[in-house]
Amino acid sequence: MPNETPIFSAKNVVRTFGSGKKLIRAVDDVSFDIADQEIVSVVGGSGCGKSVLAKIMLDLYQPTSGTFLYEGHKITDQKSHWNEVQAVFQDPFSCFNQFFTIRAQLEAAFKIKKDKLTKAEISDRVDAGLLAVNVTPKDIEGKYPFELSGGQMQRMLLARIFALRPKVLIADEPTSMVDACVRANILDYLMKLKEELSMTIVFVTHDIGLAYYVSDRLFIMHQGKIVDSGIPDDVITKPQSQVTVKLLDDVPDIHKEWIKR
Amino acid sequence: MSNPVFEVENLSLHYLTRFGNKIHAVTDVSFTMQPGEILGIAGESGCGKSTLVNGLMGLFIPPLHPTAGDVRVDGESLMNRGTEDIRENILARKVSMIPQGAFNALNPTRKVRDLAADVIAAHKQGANRKETYERLDERFALFFGQDAKRILDTYSVNLTAGERQRSVIGISTLLNPQMVIADEPTSALDVSTQKVVIKMIFELLDKGIFKSMIFITHELPLLRHVADNIAIMYAGEFVEKGTAQQIVFDPRHPYTKALMGAMLSAEPGQKSRKPVAIEGAPPSLAKPIEGCRFAERCPVARPECKLKKQELRTLADRLVRCDYAE
């Protein structure tokens, strides 16, 4: 059963960088609630503040002002926060250390967990995680990150999530580095994750097509503010903001006129 | 029919590993391009798109070697020429390339103007600095308008990704090349910036700055708007080539169909349509493959597909490499 308390609840959250004339309001007076087991997508162009918002959710940045609550309380300790909230990032190559085998790194990820598991248990969980993303554990035995392709690496990041079983997943552009076939694959795995672990997922992306397909609710961000939000079909068919209209207009869709030559 | 700008005939390329094994990355690619044409090449990661680009420029840096075939720009062959010769006489003058993620590779310690002036100087085209600078102002005004001077006199780190990418395209077309080959020029940009960059490419093509273009990407919906013709590549071969309309709305090869099935779109009512991933992985190209290269993953494969080599044949006004496609 979904919990009553919202997973994230933001009230007038502001995050600024720099000072004086060069002050940038990366996240500007943002308020929202994200319910338990909900899939929410934050969509916007480059530099709209969506990644900063994701980092606030991961406690990598603290809000300059406003309150940001996780399950109704303030985030105090990063380690205990990451026990429950985990992330998948855009570039898998910069997420793994080139000098250790993938398996060693997947197992090392369990150090963040509060309940300590035995070595055999960890090994089993990693195996299960790998199988969940259609990789036979034997295939990556003794392999280093540079021996795998981009799509395989992205799957390793997801295998880590399957193994760790976090409560909340923040996916920051998980598919922008991969081609369309691998993207469809990764989305399948993420949906499977959601089903099996009853997770809450926050997608951060500039691909409104992807967001429309996966999410229960969309937030459209522009210049640090959430300018449009709602269930995907409403946002797409009845956009409230010019930003959404422009975003939809700029996506090269198959059945729609785009730029005339 | 006017003379083709660019002709590729049965081009095959291989990589030579340090153990002496050959990896046949590109096999038997042929096409010609007319002035004003944009050809889109699409395919998964690792299907040989970027290798093909190097071959099309005639730039063979070991371990890449040509196996067979010919590439001609305006009738001039690019094969069997030294890298020095190619760099001096072909690159930027005849064939220009926009590499993947080029906008992140601009030297941050120099202004865009200096980076652009280098290209002119390296090809011994400019008489003096004043003339070079005037030429740059004129060229950049074509697509930046009022902003041209500001962009030219800025360090690249202070420009947005879109401005940097447009500067890169501007720089690579400075010497009016016949052909521009763009390898994923917009895949790292967001959708709005992508639109601006594509508009600029169309403008340059209309003004005759370059004659034709090869646009490489894995986004088929984008190609439908950008390209006149699309070639689909799989495991180093063209599996289908036709007009953009034919490929996107009426794909015939099973692989093209599968690619279209994996696309997502933000159109109302499309939410129920689930993108279908293609299971499995492309074959290893280290050994010669008998039979159809897509047979392992093909949903409609027949037993004989794995044994019989498939050739390109004409089907419904386009080329398809599948004997059983309808």
B100: closest chain A residue by CA: A177
CA B185 – CA B224 distance, rounded (Å)? 16
A260 found inside a domain: no
Disruptive mutation site among B265, B270, B278, B279 for chain A (greatest number of A CBs within 10 Å): B265
A25 found inside a domain: yes
| Domains annotated on chain B, with CATH | 6-101+179-282 (3.40.50.300)
Domain count, chain A: 1
Q: Which pLDDT score is estimated for B269?
A: 62
pLDDT band at A212 (very low <50, low <70, confident <90, very high): confident
* A212 with B258: Cβ contact below 8 A: no
> Cis (ω within 30 of 0) for the bond into B63?
yes
Tell me the backbone φ, ψ of residue B271, rounded to 5 degrees: -65, -35
Q: Render pLDDT for A26-45 as a digit per residue (tens, 0 to 9).
A: 999 999 999 999 999 999 88
With a cut of 50, list the residues of chain B below it in pLDDT. Answer: none
Q: Which pLDDT score is estimated for B13?
A: 93
Q: Which pLDDT score is estimated for A12?
A: 94
DSSP B295: T
Chain A environment of B220 (Cβ under 8 Å):
180, 254
Domain that holds residue A239: 8-250
B275: closest chain A residue by CA: A184
Residues paired with residue B22 on neighbouring β-strands, in sequence order: B16
Q: Which pLDDT score is estimated for A142?
A: 87
Q: Render pLDDT for B183-203 as a digit per residue (tens, 0 to 9).
A: 888 887 888 889 999 999 999
Q: Render pLDDT for A102-138 as a digit per residue (tens, 0 to 9).
A: 999 999 999 888 888 899 999 999 998 888 887 888 8
A193 found inside a domain: yes
A181 found inside a domain: yes
Chain A residues with CB under 8 Å of a chain B CB are 45-47, 149-151, 176, 178-185, 187-188, 206-213, 232-233, 236-237, 246-248, 250-256, 258-259, 261
Chain A environment of B275 (Cβ under 8 Å):
180, 183-184, 187, 213
Average of per-residue pLDDT across A5-28: 91
**Residue A133 belongs to a domain with what CATH number?**
3.40.50.300
Segment (H or E) for A104: helix A102-108
Q: Render pLDDT for A58-113 as a digit per residue (tens, 0 to 9).
A: 999 999 999 999 998 999 889 899 999 999 888 888 888 999 999 999 999 998 88
Disruptive mutation site among A254, A256, A259 for chain B (greatest number of B CBs within 10 Å): A254
Q: Render pLDDT for A147-182 as a digit per residue (tens, 0 to 9).
A: 887 778 888 888 898 898 899 999 988 877 677 777
Q: Which pLDDT score is estimated for B126?
A: 65
Q: Which pLDDT score is estimated for B111?
A: 92
Query: For residue A227, is pLDDT > 80?
Result: yes
pLDDT band at A141 (very low <50, low <70, confident <90, very high): confident
* A206 with B161: Cβ contact below 8 A: no
Q: Which pLDDT score is estimated for B45?
A: 78
A233 found inside a domain: yes
pLDDT band at A1 (very low <50, low <70, confident <90, very high): low
DSSP B70: E
* A210 with B264: Cβ contact below 8 A: yes
Q: Render pLDDT for B198-233 as a digit per residue (tens, 0 to 9).
A: 999 999 999 999 999 999 988 888 898 999 999 999
DSSP B237: E
Chain A environment of B190 (Cβ under 8 Å):
45-46, 206
Whether the CA torsion B262, B53, B312, B285 is positive or negative: it is negative
Count interface pairs A-B at CB distance under 8 A: 116
